Structure 1
Amino acid sequence: MKRWLWLGLGLSGLVASGCGGDEPGPIIEPQACPGTSELALPRTAASALSANTAEDGVIITYKPTVSASALGASADIAAAVEREGGTVKRRIPNLNMVSARLSPEAIAALKLRPDVVSVTPNRRVFAMGLPTPPPLVSWQGAFSSQGSVGEYTEGLKMVQAPQVWDSNSDGVFDIGAPTGEGVKVCVIDSGWDSKHPELKAAFLKGRDFVDDDDDASDQSESLGVVTVGGGHGTHVSATILAQFGPGSGGRVSPGEDPNGVVGVAPGASLLVARVLDTDGGGRTDDVIAAVDWCYSQGAKIASLSLGAPDPSESEKLVFEKVWDGGKGMLSVAASGNDGKEGIAYPAAYLPSVMAVGAVDLKGEHATFSQSGQELSVVGPGVGVLSATVLGAASLSSLTVASGPIASAPLTYTAQGTYTGRLVDCGLGADRSACGASATCEGFVAYVDRGDLFFEEKARNVIQAGARAVIIGNNVEEDGDGTFTLGSANDHWVPTVSVSMANGAMLKKLVGKEVTVSTTGLDYQRESGTSMATPHVSGVAALVFSARPDLSPAHVRAVLEKTAKDDAVTPGKDKKYGYGLVQAAKAVELARSLPEGGGPLPLP
């Protein structure tokens, strides 16, 4: 049973009159069912990316003084910031940079100092995935060198990776083949899942620039509450170097290989620099510090599936420093997902960063992939299967008396199975939306898409007693939908979405028993230039593994020279760059170059 509250009226308000101009009727809403009132209010539509940018501050680049070290000069600038009433956030002394929060007046005063080179916005950066909802250590041999060709994803085969290290497709590494061994790849992203079996053996070291510690996990803790990210960094990392062989996989969808996936360069070593928070947003100063850290750790490649629409002079400087045309670090970054002309940054910094666009599994331009003259190459970026945070992805099923109905799990849904009466809760606008059919003993809520955030709908019907939720789509072309509850929450229940047609059918079954089930998975398919970028980073690792003496400039030139040109517009163009990266051809060309690389091979 459930108690009901009569809100906003005295007892006299319960008497209705038939005359025009009468007082409005009472506002009635049931109390939340026991154990559900703690359900957090839904977050607003503003994410870390849309918060007040004035709070992000600026990056100050200064001149090192003759009489002081870089550290001393940093202290001078930091002291100047504090004298102006500002707050220092981060010091990067070897790059002569300090990030700080200051008033506009204080910024104007700092710009007048003779030792200040520039003051630039500490702009926001964001993940480039579409919503889905030490001394060199070799770990080769830490896992079985024999696996299953079923681990070879479509994208892996498109970029010719198995042709490099398993030319006869027998599931065994070819003797002496480059696998990425000896190459450190630094993934600058949202962190990683340290428990995922695909990545544990490859991991060397991590640094969290969001929480300022050495735990680069894809999660944050505040007031004792741990918030887990969406697995973006884990997905990217596994595309590059997921382990090869039995036992490396986790829970997979039906029809997928039980061993999971294998990366483009499965022998490479992993460095993780976390710069994106659990909402997928970050700041420029953290990216700068992360690039500098990766370089200091001996990384040959930095993979950045993130970006911003506008350039940053401070950020550009660090990429130029680590590139240096000699024995530096090759930076590979996503072109962006807005589907427009114009490459995002840092991808557009030429020549120090390789800009990567996306193609689908047929090799055709992905409509979301940003294009431009700076585009270097493309990689598979549509429906890419890779690892994610353990259990973060879900498989759903929905069953009625007549049989199964196609459904899709919402991101962050709880996992479990519940069978109960189907109750029509309309738009789920409040706890009373499910009407008298709702009881705290439990039911399955059917909710139409529209008006409110999915998390708000779910909160309302759960507090009304729902033990499972079905969201009915209102856009026929969207099918089952790809929706999210916004963030993980201990009070969520199994939540799925269905197509517009199946939603109409379910409405006719109100009062009947239905079963909703969601099961956790450790792998999922994602799309975006975020997914294309690690394919290119992995191919670069194979080339460095075959020819460790080559410079970043040589490896970039090799990848561009051997890329597969598209048939639509021959030659370099804005949508495909030089074409789809081809690992086997790139390794072959790299091996043919003279010691030290010689003249750059021109595309």
Structure 2
Amino acid sequence: MKRWLWLGLGLSGLVASGCGSDPDPGGDILPQACPGTAEAALPAPAVSALSSTPAADGVIITYKPKVSASALAASADIAAAVEREGGTVKRRIPNMNVVSARLSPEAVTALKLHPDVLSVTPNRRVFAMGLPTPPPLVSWQGALNTQGSVGEYTEGLKLVQAPQVWDANNDGVIDTGAPTGEGVKVCVIDSGWDSKHPELKNAFLKGKDFVDNDEDPSDQSEAQGVVTVGGGHGTHVSATILAQFGAGSGGRVGPGQDPNGVVGVAPGASLLVARVLDTDGGGSTDDVIAAVDWCHAEGARIASLSLGAPDPSEAEQLMFEKVWENGNGMLSVAASGNDGKRGISYPAAYLPSVMAVGAVDLQGEYAVFSQYGQELSVVGPGVGVLSATVLGAASLSSVNVGAAPVTSSPLTYTAQGTYTGRLVNCGLGADRASCGEAATCDGFVAYVDRGDLFFEEKARNVIQAGARAVIIGNNVADDGDGTFTLGSANSHWVPTVSVSMASGSALKQLVGKDVTVTTTGLDYQRESGTSMATPHVSGVAALVFSARPDLSAAHVRAVLEKTALDDKTTPGVDEKYGHGLVQAAKAVALARTLPQGGGPLPLP
């Protein structure tokens, strides 16, 4: 039952007191939070990656190389100068004459006067280039062919012609001698990976975590004994490149998906994982620089970066140019950004050392969120892309009133499980009192209308009122169930789903009836963004390198651009499509015609 606690203060009035009780600004008295729910902290609201610019993570110091000293010794000298100014060294990258550090403004001013210092620039933040929420599940149910292993071939895979390279007769078996990416190392610079996911385990070679500074690039971090798991961005990207045939057998897949999971564009390639993004999808420029350096040192032919920032970094650009020009070079492929405006994000915009990748939908049409500009190289599938994610991180939901099902979509980061209880109308879920006297700590299903507050705040309020499951009704008639998120993972969340405006109106007429809410974990999910387009291009590049390992990065870039499928709306190279949609079969065919070593670059 609901508990209230009152504390008299003389004759002036009464206020609620006790654990979790507090008056709201209007003077109303809130019920106490139900036991075990008061600690459900409100996560920070999710924001678009490039719509905000948080403070830089210190500075990047570029210094003069010393002829009379080794790179390590020169790096140590600058590190010592930082410490003399009261600063803290974050990372040393001797190979690039770079040190990153945290310094006071006064110390930065002093360090700029050091005779060996060339520049001191912000260590800017970078972000994952996936959209914050996936498309609704209802939009992709039944989308894949489920006949045999051919059902592992996703729409994006077919759109870039990958199966035509290694399964020309479409029988679900790799053709003998066909290029599959074998012999090619692809380095995914992202949020890390799920080492337990069967799609990636056999392809993995080595990894490094530049966030936690260890050798385990898992998509998670631990602080004070609490493990926080990321959203699976790096796992999704990696599997698009090189998920294995038949590896997902026994995994949890959604309706219409093949029980064997998915196949990557280059299923024979080898995976290097460089984790530079934290569990919130953010990272620092110095970690990207160090990761690019590490990937190149490990022999990667391709670096895939589904991340970026709105502004350039001189030190970062120099690193990409170095690995591009070194020997046959490393081809860096990066996402153009998701703000739907002119202006490519960085590092994608560094010409010619990085290929900028924009997104198209599964019909090959320009995706409205894809950033565009003259630096755009090519495009790849980036809307509703099906790939692997952290095991169990994706969800499938159902809502039932008696035997009658109600179409729903799970909120991102929802808890998983099943709960049956009385339906209680909690209005907008503005506070713990929103559910009224019908709410008890014995449990109930909260119905909450969309509007005014972040979904995670609504959920926190009704959970503290005793809700064991939450249904959020959309308030936009043509938006279906909506595509909503709880912002971030939280151990106190309960199964939380959304329903359409029409379904919400119907449910509100059934208040007091028993409702069952179920959310089930999945190992694959659809995501959108230029983050998803980028690994398609990286995978095609791996197929070309596999067919012609003697080619340089510049040759492979030229081959991909020359053979890309031009869009029909604006023929020729343009700002929204670049050279067009990458085509693996055409690219491999052209690459095979080039002389040994590549010869002159193919003209676009």
Q: TM-score, normalised by structure 2?
A: 0.93
1:590 matched residue in structure 2: 591
1:9 CA displacement: 5.8
Distance in 1, matches of 2:295 and 2:435, equals 53
1:478 matched residue in structure 2: 479
Distance in 2, matches of 1:213 and 1:256, equals 36
Distance in 2, matches of 1:105 and 1:483, equals 44
Q: Does 2:424 align with 1:423?
A: yes
Contact 2:55 2:125 in 1 (8 A): no
- 1:141-186: per-residue Cα shift (whole Å, max 9, x none)? xxxxx97000000000000000000000111010000000000000
Contact 1:393 1:524 in 2 (8 A): yes
Distance in 2, matches of 1:578 and 1:50, equals 27
Distance in 2, matches of 1:52 and 1:363, equals 32
Matches within 5 A, 1:88-99: 88-99=89-100
Contact 2:441 2:465 in 1 (8 A): yes
Q: Does 2:550 align with 1:564?
A: no
Distance in 1, matches of 2:132 and 2:477, equals 19
1:224 CA displacement: 0.8
2:3 matched residue in structure 1: 3
Which amino acid in the other structure matches residue 3 of structure 1?
A: R
1:300 matched residue in structure 2: 301
Distance in 1, matches of 2:585 and 2:45, equals 48
- 1:23-64: per-residue Cα shift (whole Å, max 9, x none)? x99632222222223323433567999999556111111111
Which amino acid in the other structure matches residue 111 of structure 2?
A: L
2:29 counterpart SS class = strand
Contact 2:191 2:276 in 1 (8 A): yes
Contact 1:4 1:28 in 2 (8 A): no
1:56 counterpart SS class = coil
Percent identity between matched residues is: 85
Q: Is the deviation greater in 50-59 or in 474-483?
A: 50-59
1:322 to 1:249, Cα distance in 2 relative to 1, 3 A: farther
- 1:372-404: per-residue Cα shift (whole Å, max 9, x none)? 111000000000000000000000011114611
1:157 counterpart SS class = helix
2:57 matched residue in structure 1: 56
Matches within 5 A, 1:173-184: 173-184=174-185
Two-structure CA RMSD over aligned residues (Å): 2.1
Contact 2:413 2:488 in 1 (8 A): yes
Distance in 2, matches of 1:294 and 1:58, equals 23
Distance in 2, matches of 1:180 and 1:413, equals 37
Contact 2:50 2:309 in 1 (8 A): no
Contact 1:326 1:552 in 2 (8 A): no
1:137 matched residue in structure 2: none
Distance in 1, matches of 2:121 and 2:103, equals 12
1:11 to 1:152, Cα distance in 2 relative to 1, 3 A: farther
Contact 1:325 1:551 in 2 (8 A): no
1:366 matched residue in structure 2: 367
Q: Does 2:501 align with 1:500?
A: yes
Contact 1:385 1:525 in 2 (8 A): yes
Distance in 2, matches of 1:84 and 1:386, equals 48
Which amino acid in the other structure matches residue 4 of structure 1?
A: W
Q: Is the deviation greater in 360-369 or in 476-485?
A: 476-485
1:424 to 1:250, Cα distance in 2 relative to 1, 3 A: same
Q: Is the deviation greater in 27-36 or in 348-357?
A: 27-36
Distance in 2, matches of 1:49 and 1:376, equals 20
1:274 to 1:593, Cα distance in 2 relative to 1, 3 A: same
1:338 CA displacement: 0.5
- 1:277-309: per-residue Cα shift (whole Å, max 9, x none)? 111111100000000000010000000000011
Q: Is the deviation greater in 361-370 or in 467-476?
A: 467-476
1:351 to 1:147, Cα distance in 2 relative to 1, 3 A: farther
Q: Is the deviation greater in 94-103 or in 157-166?
A: 94-103
Distance in 1, matches of 2:148 and 2:72, equals 50
Matches within 5 A, 1:328-347: 328-347=329-348
Contact 2:357 2:534 in 1 (8 A): yes
2:355 matched residue in structure 1: 354
Distance in 2, matches of 1:395 and 1:11, equals 55
- 1:444-496: per-residue Cα shift (whole Å, max 9, x none)? 00111222221221112112111100011122233211111122222211100
2:506 counterpart SS class = helix
2:277 matched residue in structure 1: 276
1:600 to 1:369, Cα distance in 2 relative to 1, 3 A: same
1:5 CA displacement: 2.8
Contact 2:50 2:310 in 1 (8 A): no
Aligned pair count reads 583
Contact 2:391 2:523 in 1 (8 A): yes
1:355 CA displacement: 0.4
Contact 2:399 2:515 in 1 (8 A): yes
1:394 to 1:25, Cα distance in 2 relative to 1, 3 A: closer
Distance in 1, matches of 2:121 and 2:90, equals 14
1:100 counterpart SS class = strand
1:439 matched residue in structure 2: 440
2:37 counterpart SS class = coil
1:378 matched residue in structure 2: 379
Distance in 2, matches of 1:400 and 1:60, equals 62
Distance in 2, matches of 1:51 and 1:99, equals 23
1:119 CA displacement: 1.5
Q: Does 2:318 align with 1:314?
A: no
Distance in 1, matches of 2:54 and 2:583, equals 41
1:93 to 1:445, Cα distance in 2 relative to 1, 3 A: same
2:78 counterpart SS class = helix
Distance in 1, matches of 2:338 and 2:236, equals 17
Contact 1:147 1:245 in 2 (8 A): no
Distance in 2, matches of 1:48 and 1:11, equals 53
Distance in 1, matches of 2:417 and 2:50, equals 32
1:31 matched residue in structure 2: 32
Contact 1:7 1:28 in 2 (8 A): no
Contact 1:13 1:26 in 2 (8 A): no
Contact 2:246 2:261 in 1 (8 A): no
2:137 matched residue in structure 1: none
Distance in 1, matches of 2:229 and 2:259, equals 25
1:142 matched residue in structure 2: none
2:461 matched residue in structure 1: 460
Which amino acid in the other structure matches residue 89 of structure 1?
A: K
Which amino acid in the other structure matches residue 155 of structure 1?
A: G
Which amino acid in the other structure matches residue 535 of structure 1?
A: H
In structure 1, runs of 5+ residues without a counterpart are: 16-23, 134-145
1:197 counterpart SS class = coil
2:191 matched residue in structure 1: 190
1:20 matched residue in structure 2: none
1:131 CA displacement: 1.0
Distance in 1, matches of 2:538 and 2:423, equals 49
Contact 1:87 1:101 in 2 (8 A): yes
Which amino acid in the other structure matches residue 71 of structure 1?
A: L
Distance in 2, matches of 1:120 and 1:25, equals 47
Distance in 1, matches of 2:278 and 2:50, equals 10
